[in-house]
Amino acid sequence: MYPMMLSSSSPAMSLLDPLGFGRAACAYWVDTLQRGTLYLDVMRQRGNQYLEHIEKTKPNVLGFEAEVLVDGRELPRPVNYELLRILPPEGVEIDDQSRPFVVVDPRAGHGPGIGGFKPDSEVGVALRAGHPCYFIGFLPYPVPGQQVEDVVEAEIAFLRHVIERHPDVSEKPMVVGNCQAGWQIMMAAALEPDLFGPILVAGAPLSYWAGERGGAPMRYTGGMTGGSWMTALLGDMGAGLFDGAWLVQNFERLNPANTWWDKQYRLYANVDTEAERYLEFERWWGGHVVLGADEIQYIVDNLFIGNRLSTAQLVSSDGRRIDLRNLRSPVVVFCSQGDDITPPPQALGWVRDLYENTEDIIANEQTIVYCVHDTTGHLGIFVSGSVSRREHTEFTANMDYIDVLPPGLYETQVTSADKHADDDLIERDYLLEFQRREVADLDEVVQHRPEDDRRFATVARLSEINLGLYRLIGQPWVQAMASPESARFMRRMHPNRLGYRLLSDRNPLMSAVPVMAERVRRDRHPVDQDNVYRALEGVLSSGMSQGLDAWRQYRDGLIEQSFLMFYGQPMLQAMVGLQGDAHAPRHRPGAEPEHRRFIEQRRATTRAKLAEGGSHEAVMRSVIYVLGGAPASDERNFKRLRASRAELEPSATLADFKQLVREQFFILEHDRQAALEAIPTLLSGQGAEQIDAHLEHIEHVLAASGDLSAHAAERFERVRSLFHSARPGVEGGRSSAAGET
């Protein structure tokens, strides 16, 4: 089967090939043939796995056992979604009194299960933390006629069911939405904010117009195809169904070096060890699903091209405005600089779209936390084991702490615990730290350009024109010719699907491959890594990868320049009615008169509560003031506060405690001077020993983060004087404590 080789140690071979190049070439040639055979066999297994997977009624790549609780097909507005309860693996203990944890899987061309794909996944992290865990997945085909709104309503119904299963838990479920599921969950939370606990959106494109020059090439796709008429055409050719393989193909085109070379060469070069990992990933990557034509049209028109979600322009069929400012739960946005599908500007641009400044966020009672990873790719955000062990573990462990953060904008950083003092208060290997940010700080990430807004607005207008022309002229003909049979044939012949099928056992030409592969495994001769020809192979592979990457950069640059030049033409903008617009192309709802009236009403309500309450309010107000506007910069202070909550108010629940923190923060933000001067009034009726105990408690909490800064120490001295002025028998104490620090 392989070339005859003389023993490398034979005298004859040494005489004929004194430098060993011939022996190295012969060994490399044998290894190359064997690796090629084994590689082809892995491709055959991949094809078989694909066919087996797509022929299942409920394909799923979940790595955990689960039971179906609610079948979305039985809801009043039926959908192809399901609510599953994750059964904890052996040895994992679940605390039914813990906050429920719900992972919503993205339906963006691939099948369900990616959030629980590995033990080190979002689901695995939640289970190890003792949370009851639920999973919202989907079936490969939509229910006829289902709409995006139906799916949103189904997710709301699922969440109600989860809450009903935990009547004794006061905390609302934590909900995780990956990629497409992220913006879908945000829509649901905007409609029913009271059902949601903290929300984690990972790699979710909420503001599709946003992006930096030289990156985010997918945002130009709508403009380069003339709008969404192509989406409508593919949906019509699919007889009302849209093949998710088209979406997967778009993802693959973003990185041709990885798609066409690196991923395959990695398997070929390490075929003895990489096969299992490769097949495991391909089971999900190749599990293409189908969307309804109406669903994908809604998504492309309203989110990708229209950018209406991040600007509060979406309205449900029953007249409810889908405004993300309605959210009352903390929102954690996790994104990465290495993500070319949902770069940070698209994940965070919605904050800038909705809010003029941080005061706007606070007035809307929103807590927004963001974390920008340096390198991981799109899938790595919710699949990578290292990310799950670090960022997702910290997000999950700190959700109660995030829930108590006062409204505002925060950036998080994950640091090693051993770098901090009081590491005995840190329960894990890492510490999640929070820093207050302003909306203006996001400009460095979002890189907003008004002239680009006008370009994307031009795309949206032109898309409406082209879609209207297609529906008038082309759609009747396409729909008349399309049939379920032709749609199935088109899906089978899609290049992404056909590649799996051709390299499977259903192709007679592959019948000899498993026999040859078995013979290779019985007599495998892997070449050493220091073989000169194997080293040369690696160099050539790197050159191929770099060449494809250079071509990608040239292609993306050409697309960007073409887009900017074409849609930046004043004449084209005038033809679609934009040059004469008095308003900015990107709608900002925060500037509307109704919103300003809301803020004024919020201030009036807060003003009325300045002197309401007692010692609990005085202590919390003081802690927040000294720490500069937040109850803590990391989990250590929160742990102190939570542990001492019983001393302040034994009957208070964690939810009551969180409400107390938020309320006192609002009061300080509204009028700091008046809020501080009201502290002695809040302490009236307290004895000297009680007041001293309150001061001791405050000092204990403040010490959790180490020594106070000079400014914080000055603030604490002011608080101390205010407390002393409230002691019985003290006269004139309030006047001595006056003055802003």
Grouping H, G, I as helix, E, B as strand and the rest as coil, residue 315 is strand
Q: Quick one: pLDDT at residue 293? A: 95
Q: How far apart are CA 64 and CA 119, in angstroms?
A: 8
Count other C-beta atoms under 10 Å from residue 448's C-beta: 19
pTM for the whole thing? 0.86
Binning pLDDT at 50, 70 and 90, where does residue 561 land? very high
CB 146 within 8 A of CB 291: no
Grouping H, G, I as helix, E, B as strand and the rest as coil, residue 133 is strand
pLDDT tens, residue by residue, 284-318: 888 888 999 999 999 999 999 999 998 889 999 88
Q: Is 1 exposed, middle or buried (0-12, 13-18, 19+ CB in 10 A)?
A: exposed
Grouping H, G, I as helix, E, B as strand and the rest as coil, residue 90 is coil
Check residue 671 and report its DSSP letter. Answer: -
Count other C-beta atoms under 10 Å from residue 569's C-beta: 12
43, 504, 518 from 40: Cα distances, Å: 5, 10, 12
Q: Is residue 88 part of a domain?
A: yes
Find the range with the poorest average confidence among 62-71, 199-208, 284-293, 572-581: 572-581
**C-alpha closest to that of 162 among 150, 175, 152:** 175
Give Rg (Cα) of the chain: 30
Q: How far apart are CA 409 and CA 412, in angstroms?
A: 10
**C-alpha closest to that of 715 among 737, 696, 682, 687:** 737
Mean pLDDT across the stretch 312-333? 90
CB 701 within 8 A of CB 727: no
Q: Quick one: pLDDT at residue 630? A: 54
Residue that is written with structure tokens 């890189």 in the block: 447
Q: Which amino acid is at 512?
A: A
**C-alpha closest to that of 41 among 524, 535, 528:** 524
* Interstrand relation of 101-104 and 174-178 (parallel, antiparallel or unpaired): parallel
Max intra-chain CA distance, the chain: 109
Q: Quick one: pLDDT at residue 382? A: 73
For 553-571, give the DSSP string: HHHHHHHHHHHHHHHT-HH
Is pLDDT of 92 > 80? Answer: yes
Q: Quick one: pLDDT at residue 274? A: 93
Is pLDDT of 367 > 80? Answer: yes
Q: How far apart are CA 136 and CA 122, in angstroms?
A: 13
Using the 3D structure, point to which of 429, 448, 467 is the last residue of a domain. Answer: 448
Nearest 5°: the CA angle 657, 658, 662 is 120
- Domain with 89, as residue range(s), is 66-209+307-318+329-448
Number of domains in the chain: 2
Q: How many CA atoms lie within 13 A of 75 on its CB side?
A: 25
Mean pLDDT across the stretch 457-468? 95
Q: At what angle do helices 710-725 and 688-702 cross, to 10 degrees?
A: 170
Find the range with the poorest average confidence among 165-169, 389-393, 637-641: 637-641
Mean pLDDT, the chain, as a whole number?
84
Q: Which amino acid is at 94?
A: I
Q: Is residue 19 part of a domain?
A: no
Q: How far apart are CA 126 and CA 97, in angstroms?
A: 14
Residue 353 makes CB contacts below 8 A (sequence gap 6+) with 207, 310, 311, 586, 588
Q: How far apart are CA 564 and CA 584, in angstroms?
A: 18
Find the range with the poorest average confidence among 122-126, 153-157, 317-321, 703-707: 703-707
Residue 15 makes CB contacts below 8 A (sequence gap 6+) with none
More confident residue, 154 or 90: 154
Q: Quick one: pLDDT at residue 339? A: 85
Mean pLDDT across the stretch 243-267? 93
Q: Is residue 569 part of a domain?
A: no
More confident residue, 516 or 114: 516
Is pLDDT of 113 > 80? Answer: no
Q: Quick one: pLDDT at residue 145? A: 92
| Overall size of the chain counted in residues | 741
Q: Quick one: pLDDT at residue 5? A: 45
Grouping H, G, I as helix, E, B as strand and the rest as coil, residue 199 is strand
Q: How far apart are CA 216 and CA 342, in angstroms?
A: 8
Q: Quick one: pLDDT at residue 386? A: 66
Q: How far apart are CA 71 and CA 62, in angstroms?
A: 17
Using the 3D structure, point to which of 430, 448, 466 is the last residue of a domain. Answer: 448
Count other C-beta atoms under 10 Å from residue 642's C-beta: 15
Residue that is written with structure tokens 């770098």 in the block: 419
CA end-to-end distance (rounded Å), the chain: 86
For residue 202, give the CATH number of its domain.
3.40.50.1820
Q: Is 414 exposed, middle or buried (0-12, 13-18, 19+ CB in 10 A)?
A: middle
Mean pLDDT across the stretch 164-186? 90
Residue that is written with structure tokens 């599709």 in the block: 208
Q: Quick one: pLDDT at residue 593? A: 66
Q: Is residue 476 part of a domain?
A: no
Binning pLDDT at 50, 70 and 90, where does residue 49 land? very high
Query: In this structure, what token pair is assigned to residue 320?
Result: 């409810």
More confident residue, 20 or 688: 688
34, 266, 507, 541, 652 from 28: Cα distances, Å: 10, 17, 30, 16, 72
Residue 515 makes CB contacts below 8 A (sequence gap 6+) with none
CB 583 within 8 A of CB 577: no
Grouping H, G, I as helix, E, B as strand and the rest as coil, residue 288 is coil
Q: Is residue 513 part of a domain?
A: no
Mean pLDDT across the stretch 536-559? 95
Is pLDDT of 669 > 70? Answer: yes
Grouping H, G, I as helix, E, B as strand and the rest as coil, residue 431 is strand
Q: Which amino acid is at 190?
A: A
Count other C-beta atoms under 10 Å from residue 14's C-beta: 13
CB 520 within 8 A of CB 38: yes
CB 671 within 8 A of CB 607: yes
Q: Is residue 638 part of a domain?
A: yes
Q: Is residue 353 part of a domain?
A: yes
Binning pLDDT at 50, 70 and 90, where does residue 414 land? confident
Find the range with the poorest average confidence among 346-355, 387-396, 467-476, 515-524: 387-396
Q: How far apart are CA 11 and CA 364, in angstroms?
A: 85
Mean pLDDT across the stretch 3-23? 58
Q: Is residue 200 part of a domain?
A: yes
Task: Provide the b/e sequence for 654-676 (b: ≥16 CB within 10 Å).
Answer: eeebbebbbbbbbbbbbeeeebb
Using the 3D structure, point to which of 400, 419, 448 is the last residue of a domain. Answer: 448
Binning pLDDT at 50, 70 and 90, where does residue 365 land? confident
Q: Quick one: pLDDT at residue 187? A: 95
pLDDT tens, residue by residue, 467-505: 999 999 999 999 999 999 999 999 999 999 999 999 999
Residue 488 makes CB contacts below 8 A (sequence gap 6+) with none
pLDDT tens, residue by residue, 432-460: 778 888 888 888 888 888 889 999 999 99
Dihedral sign for Cα atoms in the order 466, 467, 473, 474: positive
Backbone angles phi, psi at 17, to 5 degrees: -135, 70
Binning pLDDT at 50, 70 and 90, where does residue 741 land? very low
Q: Quick one: pLDDT at residue 739? A: 46
Q: How far apart are CA 175 and CA 101, in angstroms?
A: 6
Q: Quick one: pLDDT at residue 727? A: 82
pLDDT tens, residue by residue, 603-631: 677 677 777 788 878 888 888 888 765 54
Find the range with the poorest average confidence among 20-24, 52-56, 116-120: 116-120
